[in-house]
């Protein structure tokens, strides 16, 4: 029998990356060529023009801040103009540039480099370590991503793998990988929770585990909540303290910023074991044109760190609460609570978890290695026939299409098990409409512009007919990696258009809102199901009633301030109701009915009390 081609599992982390494989039926971490299990996810170009990756890049970061890129995972698959990116940029020592489509580029090696290319540099290094370990090239790999990564972020990670010369068998979620490693070789039956706080992201997942099946019930989190935010709190505290004392803003100096970052992280890590950390940054500021250099010297206590980061820890617990509710699971129903990610070594985090879940977390897993080990278990299961593992993951965010009125029609709600597929019928929203624009959105808001636009395409050649007469069938498919394909078919002609959604890479909320307004001629209308038809009729009746009462209310209140105000509010509610009628979203219709019912009650009360006086 020919020897099987090696496969690897890669945890591509914000701060560090880890690679593992299954050998002799046991998952194990592959050490890098320096003998370490963690490879810093840092890329740099040295002063002599040499590309550096990993520990060697991290080590020279302070003296080469502008050409050293770290925490790229926080930016991958995001838009330059997003608030989170704008916020993150304030404390990044390297140069972040806006690409042509609002995508993010980084200035490195004298050119503008995309985020997948940066991540690919880290992956190439990891691949080289694995090649050295096996003594032959390794191509097949699984890469993990935070469960809460959206489609664009997943696609970008997959692209990074491809650029690095890897055949990415699958993208899997980090907490799910951790559960696989936890369950490996054990008989576990029951529900478990994975609390994963890493360098840049936070995930919480609840899984039902039994007989080799890992079934994710619910997942949630925040892709902008992790160790970097804790470090930034310390940096801000140091920067503001220094500005108060010396009137100097250290953030303007990239080298000072990089030194602050290194010291802040060091102090944070020390404070997991000791009560007070010393921060020493001699010659942190030299006045231009000479003068006496300034030093920064401060003691940071564990209490102070806990105080600076209290809201970050609270945010993690708020997500836990939401996910447990969504999974319809009580903390006491859980068999095990597993901590993953370097940040779960912080005592305040452990205390908060213990208090919320009312139990001690599981001690049997290595927080830094467990994700890569799980990825290796899954990679092995994919290529070997004996391995018995079934992974049932979920889609972390809802998916839908934009419909007339600026709303979203959700086709796949969040926490639906993947792979999944669904088809729904829509109508044209305007008389004579011959094209429809299918805008694929991901997120939880009912309003289209508050979601992420994943992609869009146009279906043309529709029969010219009255609004609502032409039917369009829209199909969504999500594969087991969480990657989305969307198709649309004109029911009459059978003509179809489809896309595998790729990150739109670039529309801001405002742009999306504008498109929604401008393109209303091309938009779909949700097909009026019975429920929606009934609601529409109910709303139309209330609109008539409220409209009829306005002159009467105006008469009895005789232009009083109260009357003017009540009528103005009613007019606004009527406008909203008409938009809801156009859009046809069930929630929007229900909301409009509630609002107008309140107006109706107010009007009736006014007419009864004042009108009969």
Q: Which listed residue (7, 9, 10, 14) binds ligand AMP by CB under 6 A?
A: 14
3-state DSSP assignment of residue 524? strand
Site for ligand AMP in 196-215 (CB under 6 A): 198-199
CB of 313 to ligand AMP, least distance (A): 12
Whether the CB-CB separation of 239 and 260 falls below 8 Å is answered with: yes
Residue in 380, 344, 382 with CA at minimum distance from that of residue 193 = 344
Whether the CB-CB separation of 319 and 220 falls below 8 Å is answered with: yes
Give the range of 12-20, 187-195, 416-424, 604-612 binding ligand AMP by CB under 6 A.
12-20
Site string for ligand AMP, 259-278 (x = CB under 6 A): ------x--xx--x------
Output DSSP code: residue 65. Answer: G
Active-site choice (67, 117, 125, 174)? 174
> Does the annotation mark 276 as catalytic?
no
Whether the CB-CB separation of 474 and 408 falls below 8 Å is answered with: no
| Tokens 């529900």 sit on residue | 191
Which of residues 41 and 428 has its CB atom nearest to ligand AMP in the complex?
Answer: 41
CA distance 232 to 189: 40
Site for ligand AMP contains 222 (CB under 6 A): no
Site for ligand AMP contains 15 (CB under 6 A): yes
Q: Which listed residue (8, 16, 71, 582) binds ligand AMP by CB under 6 A?
A: 16
Whether the CB-CB separation of 447 and 503 falls below 8 Å is answered with: no
Site for ligand AMP contains 154 (CB under 6 A): no
Q: What are the angstrom distances between the C-alpha of 568 and each of 66, 403, 441, 546?
A: 55, 28, 34, 12
Bin 430: left if φ > 0, else alpha if -120 < ψ < 50, else beta.
beta
Which of residues 14 and 398 has its CB atom nearest to ligand AMP in the complex?
Answer: 14
Which of residues 94 and 230 has its CB atom nearest to ligand AMP in the complex?
Answer: 230
Which of residues 200 and 583 has its CB atom nearest to ligand AMP in the complex?
Answer: 200
Task: Give the DSSP letter string of 167-207.
Answer: EEEEEEEHHHHHHHHHHTTS---EEEEEEEE-SS-EEEEEE
Site for ligand AMP contains 107 (CB under 6 A): no
# residues contacting ligand AMP (CB under 6 A): 17
Site for ligand AMP in 442-471 (CB under 6 A): none
Site for ligand AMP contains 56 (CB under 6 A): no
Whether the CB-CB separation of 147 and 203 falls below 8 Å is answered with: yes
CA distance 143 to 130: 14
CB of 406 to ligand AMP, least distance (A): 38
3-state DSSP assignment of residue 509? helix
Site for ligand AMP in 362-421 (CB under 6 A): 368
CB of 227 to ligand AMP, least distance (A): 2
Which of residues 263 and 582 has its CB atom nearest to ligand AMP in the complex?
Answer: 263
CB of 269 to ligand AMP, least distance (A): 4
CB of 361 to ligand AMP, least distance (A): 15
Which residue of the chain is nearest ligand AMP when measured via CB?
227
CB of 230 to ligand AMP, least distance (A): 7
**Measured in Å, how far apart are the chain's first and last C-alpha atoms?**
99
CA distance 149 to 172: 11
CB of 70 to ligand AMP, least distance (A): 11
Which of residues 14 and 427 has its CB atom nearest to ligand AMP in the complex?
Answer: 14
Whether the CB-CB separation of 140 and 384 falls below 8 Å is answered with: no
Task: Give the DSSP letter string of 110-137.
Answer: TEEEEHHHHHHHHHHHHHHHHHHHHTS-
Q: Which listed residue (13, 54, 220, 443) binds ligand AMP by CB under 6 A?
A: 13
Which residues lie closer than 8 Å to 35 by C-beta, 6 or more apart? none
Site for ligand AMP contains 227 (CB under 6 A): yes
Whether the CB-CB separation of 180 and 389 falls below 8 Å is answered with: yes
> Does the annotation mark 174 as catalytic?
yes
Which of residues 142 and 346 has its CB atom nearest to ligand AMP in the complex?
Answer: 346
Which of residues 68 and 433 has its CB atom nearest to ligand AMP in the complex?
Answer: 68
Site string for ligand AMP, 317-356 (x = CB under 6 A): ------------------------xxx-xx----------
CB of 344 to ligand AMP, least distance (A): 8
CB of 265 to ligand AMP, least distance (A): 5
Strands 336-340 and 190-197, by their bridges, are: parallel
CA distance 513 to 519: 10
Whether the CB-CB separation of 21 and 43 falls below 8 Å is answered with: no
What's the angle, vertex CA 168, arms to CA 166 and CA 173, rounded to 5? 135
Binding positions for ligand AMP, rule: CB under 6 A: 13-16, 198-199, 227, 265, 268-269, 272, 341-343, 345-346, 368
| Catalytic residue numbers, as ranges | 11, 73, 174, 196
């Amino acid at each position: 029998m020919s020897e099987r081609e090696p496969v690897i599992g890669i945890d591509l982390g914000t701060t560090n990356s880890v690679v593992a494989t299954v050998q002799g039926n046991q998952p194990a971490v592959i050490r890098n060529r320096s003998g370490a299990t963690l490879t810093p996810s840092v890329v740099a170009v040295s002063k002599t023009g040499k590309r550096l990756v990993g520990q060697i890049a991290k080590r020279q970061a302070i003296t080469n801040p502008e050409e050293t890129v770290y925490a790229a995972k926080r930016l991958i698959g995001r838009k330059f103009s997003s608030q989170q990116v704008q916020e993150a940029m304030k404390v990044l020592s390297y140069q972040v540039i806006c690409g042509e489509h609002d995508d993010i580029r980084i200035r490195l090696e004298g050119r503008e480099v995309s985020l997948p290319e940066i991540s690919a540099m880290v992956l190439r290094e990891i691949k080289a370590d694995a090649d050295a370990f096996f003594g032959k090239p390794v191509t097949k790999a699984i890469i993990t991503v935070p469960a809460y990564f959206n489609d664009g972020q997943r696609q970008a990670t997959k692209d990074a793998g491809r650029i690095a010369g890897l055949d990415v068998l699958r993208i899997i979620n980090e907490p799910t990988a951790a559960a696989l490693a936890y369950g490996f070789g054990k008989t576990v039956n029951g529900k478990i929770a994975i609390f994963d706080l890493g360098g840049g992201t936070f995930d919480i997942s609840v899984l039902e585990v039994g007989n080799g099946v890992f079934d994710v019930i619910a997942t949630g989190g925040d892709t902008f909540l992790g160790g970097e935010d804790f470090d930034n709190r310390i940096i801000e505290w140091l920067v503001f303290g220094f500005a108060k004392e010396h009137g100097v803003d250290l953030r303007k100096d990239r080298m000072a910023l990089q030194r602050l970052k290194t010291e802040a992280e060091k102090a944070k890590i020390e404070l997991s074991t000791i009560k007070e950390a010393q921060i020493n940054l001699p010659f942190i500021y030299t006045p231009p044109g000479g003068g006496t250099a300034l030093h920064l010297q401060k003691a940071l206590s564990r209490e102070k760190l806990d105080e600076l980061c209290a809201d970050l820890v609270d945010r993690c617990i708020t997500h836990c609460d939401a996910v447990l509710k969504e999974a319809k699971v009580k903390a006491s129903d859980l068999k095990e609570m597993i901590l993953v990610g370097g940040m779960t070594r912080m005592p305040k985090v452990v205390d908060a978890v213990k208090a919320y879940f009312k139990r001690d977390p599981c001690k049997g897993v290595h927080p830094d290695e467990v994700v890569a080990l799980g990825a290796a278990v899954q990679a092995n299961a994919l290529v070997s026939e004996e391995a018995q593992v079934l992974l049932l993951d979920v889609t972390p965010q809802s998916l839908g299409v934009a419909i007339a009125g600026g709303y979203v029609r959700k086709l796949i709600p969040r926490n639906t098990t993947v792979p999944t597929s669904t088809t729904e019928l829509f109508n044209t929203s305007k008389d004579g409409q011959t094209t429809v624009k299918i805008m694929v959105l991901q997120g939880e808001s009912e309003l289209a512009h508050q979601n992420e636009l994943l992609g869009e395409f146009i279906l043309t050649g529709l029969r010219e007919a009255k609004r609502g007469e032409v039917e369009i069938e829209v199909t969504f498919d999500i594969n087991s990696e969480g990657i989305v394909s969307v198709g649309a078919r004109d029911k009459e002609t059978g003509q179809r258009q489809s896309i595998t959604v790729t990150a739109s890479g670039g529309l801001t909320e405002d742009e999306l809102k504008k498109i929604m307004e401008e393109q209303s001629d091309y938009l779909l209308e949700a097909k009026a199901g019975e429920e929606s038809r009934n609601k529409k009729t109910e709303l139309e009746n209330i609109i008539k009633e409220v409209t009829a009462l306005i002159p009467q209310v105006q008469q009895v209140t005789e232009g009083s301030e109260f009357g003017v105000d009540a009528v103005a509010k009613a007019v606004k509610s009527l406008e909203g109701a008409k938009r809801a009628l156009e859009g046809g979203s069930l929630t929007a219709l229900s909301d409009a009915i509630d609002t107008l019912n309140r107006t109706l009650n107010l009007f009736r009360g006014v007419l009864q009390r004042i009108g009969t006086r």
